[in-house]
């Protein structure tokens, strides 16, 4: 009995090993537990049920999805298409800057046109 009380003290201090915790769970889920230690019985029996509930590997319950070749192909094709589009946008933007565009404009008023016509008729 003193051993169990010593293990409980160690347990609440956080100094027990896995084997000692297993011994405590076995004691409290087993047969007779003294009246003054009945308070701890639900806690250790809960730990025991949760331990057995989650002792199965999660990988079997939730299998990981494997990457398929079609997904890789989709990523490859879509990145290639995006690269071609960016390349075309870059080329067309460059050609716009290289193409000659008129930078000087002449605006003529009616008075300017009359003056040009009179000058042309004299010659």
Decide which of 1 and 116 is more confident: 116
Highest mean pLDDT among 6-15, 35-44, 78-87, 114-123: 78-87
> What is the pLDDT, as a whole number, of residue 113?
87
Q: Which residue has tokens 């090993």?
A: 17
40-61 pLDDT, tens per residue?
Answer: 787 777 666 555 555 555 555 5
List, as own/partner pairs, every contact residues 5-13 make where C-beta atoms lie below 8 angstroms and the sequence separation is at least 24, other chains included. 5/37, 8/37, 8/40
The answer, yes or no, to whether residue 39 has pLDDT greater than 60, is: yes
> Per-residue pLDDT averaged across 92-106, rounded?
65
User: The tokens of 76 are what?
Assistant: 């490859």
34/47 Cα distance (integer angstroms)? 19
Is pTM beyond 0.75? Reply is no
Residue for token pair 């565009």: 101
């Amino acid at each position: 009995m003193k051993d169990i009380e010593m293990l409980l003290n160690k347990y609440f201090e956080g100094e027990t090993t896995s084997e000692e915790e297993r011994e405590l769970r076995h004691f409290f889920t087993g047969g007779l537990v003294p009246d003054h230690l009945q308070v701890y019985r639900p806690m250790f029996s809960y730990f025991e049920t949760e331990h057995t509930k989650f002792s199965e590997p999660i990988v079997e319950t939730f299998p990981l999805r494997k990457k398929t070749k079609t997904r890789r192909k989709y990523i490859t094709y879509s990145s290639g298409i995006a690269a071609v589009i960016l390349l075309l946008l870059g080329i067309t933007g460059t050609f716009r800057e290289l193409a000659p565009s008129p930078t000087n404009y002449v605006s003529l008023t009616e008075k300017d046109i009359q003056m040009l016509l009179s000058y042309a008729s004299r010659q």
